[in-house]
Amino acid sequence: LATAQYRSGGIDPSVQLFLSADPDDYLDKASTLDQLSAQQVEALKKIQDKQRQLAQQRAEATDKLKDLAATRTELGNKKKEVQSKLAEAQKLLNTLTAKEKAALAAEQQRANRSSSERVDLGNDTSASGRASAAFSAAQSKIGTPYVYGATGPSSYDCSGLTSWAYAQAGVSIPRTSEAQSGIGTRLTRSQLQVGDLVFFFNDLHHVGLYAGNGQVLHAPRTGTVVRYESMDTIGGPFMFGVRV
Catalytic residues: 158, 206, 218
Reported as half-sphere exposure (CB side, CA atoms, 13 A), residue 92 has a value of 7
Closest CA to 235 of 161, 224, 115, 244: 224
Q: Measured between alpha carbons, how far is residue 22 from residues 1, 5, 8, 19 in Å?
A: 20, 18, 15, 9
- Torsion on CA atoms 71, 76, 82, 87, rounded to nearest 10: 180
What is the Cα–Cα distance from 204 to 158, expressed in whole angstroms? 11
- Coil, helix or strand for 40? helix
Q: What is the 3-state secondary structure (H, E, C) of 108-148?
A: HHHHHHHCCCCCCCCCCCCCCHHHHHHHHHHHCCCCCEECC
